[in-house]
């Protein structure tokens, strides 16, 4: 139904800011950051007011009728860097891309670039992953405005929370929440729509930087523990992907995690004073492969190659502990 695929010709802003032969185009592309250091988070964003709405340009009716036949892709953190490049590449295949970020101006620039190039169609939705309430609102908007979701790419992330340990408005260690916990909640909320859209894919953009989760100090309150923040959050994404892949076996949903590329030439890396070792295009190639190509579920990729992740990712008890803890932290009932 046209009105369900995209029920409105405007982009709703919150209070802040594949699997199958249905897709046949294989693209070259690029990857996320494997940080062993701790670049500062992007803390400054152009944030719209709660009730601000932005109408998309062009023929809204024609665009959204065309979108009724398009596959829908949601990429978190797609206003810059890896996420932006993947958004442009997926739009070039004809997909309808839901662009997400905090910065309204950059988000609408991506939408305009997609639409002006007649590559596909797109909309922008703002949500701050440092707020679980905004994540719930964001998920609610997607469920209300779209009747399918073929690909979810959990890409957004920060390298560090700035100087020392910081907590979110929900009281959780900030890097753990932004990089992992909010994506856990978003995926949970959107999962019924994804299952209804099967065959579909979920991609967790993790990192080669992986540190075992200390379940006695997940929030990194012990002295000097903050140095584990990024690598712990990225390993959590891999555990989550493996857990979901097992849960969704037989549903037509393929779930994988990957380390796209090391120290890509992004603003985040440059801000940290780190010399880039790879390009955003190299990173995107790895992401596009596991979105578009025939791959098995429940794998971890280092670039284009399936490989073994940290040992803890294969520990069923650790995965169950993380799942139960995550449900508790985001306010979900325990699994019975």
**pLDDT tens for residues 99-109?**
999 999 999 99
More confident residue, 268 or 78: 78
Q: What is the pLDDT of residue 47?
A: 38
pLDDT at position 42 is: 35
Which pLDDT score is estimated for 123?
98
Query: CB within 8 A of 146, min separation 6: which ones?
Result: 4, 5, 6, 72, 98, 193
> Coil, helix or strand for 90?
helix
Least confident of 203-212, 276-285, 294-303, 320-329: 276-285
Specify whether 230 is catalytic. Answer: yes
Question: In whole angstroms, what is the distance from residue 41 CA to residue 54 CA?
Answer: 27
Q: What is the Cα–Cα distance from 163 to 294, expressed in whole angstroms? A: 42
Q: Which of 96, 146, 180, 230 is catalytic?
A: 230
Helix residue ranges per DSSP H, the chain: 2-5, 60-67, 81-92, 104-116, 132-145, 174-176, 182-196, 229-247, 267-271, 280-292, 316-330
Looking at residue 240, its pLDDT comes to 98
Residue 293 has pLDDT above 50, yes or no: yes
| pLDDT for the residue numbered 274 | 65
Whether residue 174 has pLDDT greater than 90:
yes
Mean of all residue pLDDT scores within the chain:
82
Closest CA to 150 of 216, 195, 186, 214: 195
pLDDT at 85: 96
Give dist(CA 305, CA 262) in Å, integer: 14
pLDDT at 318: 98
Give the domains, in start order, of the chain with CATH numbers. 2-330 (3.40.50.720)
Mean pLDDT, rounded, for 246-250: 98
Q: Which pLDDT value is given to residue 307?
A: 98
Percent of the chain with pLDDT over 90: 68
Dist CA 323 CA 333 (whole Å): 11
Give the whole-angstrom CA distance, residue 126 versus residue 16. 7
Residue 265 is encoded by which pair of tokens? 């030439």
Can you tell me the distance from the alpha carbon of 176 to that of 173, in angstroms, rounded to the nearest whole number?
6
* Stretch 51-73: mean pLDDT: 56
* Whether the predicted pLDDT of 1 surpasses 80: no
Average pLDDT over residues 92-97: 96
Query: In the structure, what pLDDT confidence band is assigned to residue 160 with cuts at 50, 70 and 90?
Result: confident
Per-residue confidence at 253, pLDDT binned at 50, 70, 90?
very high
Nearest to 127 by CA among 151, 98, 92: 98
């Amino acid at each position: 139904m046209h009105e369900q695929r995209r029920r409105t010709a405007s982009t709703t802003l919150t209070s802040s800011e594949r699997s199958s032969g249905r897709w046949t185009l294989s693209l070259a592309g690029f990857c996320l950051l494997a940080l062993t250091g701790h670049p500062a988070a992007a803390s400054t964003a152009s944030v719209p007011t709660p009730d601000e709405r932005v109408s998309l340009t062009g023929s809204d009716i024609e665009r959204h009728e065309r979108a009724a036949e398009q596959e829908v892709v949601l990429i978190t953190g797609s206003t810059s860097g890896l996420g932006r490049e993947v958004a442009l590449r997926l739009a070039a295949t004809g997909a309808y891309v839901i662009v997400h970020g905090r910065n309204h101006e950059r988000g609408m620039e991506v939408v305009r670039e997609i639409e002006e190039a007649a590559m596909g169609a797109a909309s922008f939705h703002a949500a701050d992953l440092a707020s679980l309430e905004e994540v719930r609102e964001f998920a609610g908007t997607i469920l209300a405005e779209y009747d399918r979701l073929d690909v979810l790419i959990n890409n957004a992330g920060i390298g560090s929370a700035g100087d020392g340990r910081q907590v979110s408005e929900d009281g959780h260690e900030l890097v753990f929440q932004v990089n992992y916990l909010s994506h856990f909640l978003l995926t949970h909320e959107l999962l019924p729509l994804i299952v209804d859209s099967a065959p579909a894919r979920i991609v967790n953009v993790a990192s080669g930087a992986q540190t075992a989760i200390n379940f006695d100090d997940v929030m990194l309150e012990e002295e000097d523990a903050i140095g584990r923040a990024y690598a712990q959050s990225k390993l959590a994404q891999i555990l989550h992907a493996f857990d979901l892949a097992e849960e969704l076996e037989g549903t037509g949903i393929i779930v994988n995690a990957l380390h796209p590329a090391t120290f890509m030439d992004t603003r985040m890396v440059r801000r940290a004073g780190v010399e880039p070792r790879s390009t955003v295009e190299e990173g995107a190639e790895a992401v596009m492969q596991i979105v578009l190509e025939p791959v098995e579920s429940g794998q971890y990729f280092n670039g284009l190659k399936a490989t073994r992740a940290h040992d803890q990712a294969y520990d069923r008890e650790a995965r169950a502990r993380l799942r139960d803890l995550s449900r508790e932290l985001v306010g979900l009932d325990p699994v019975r």
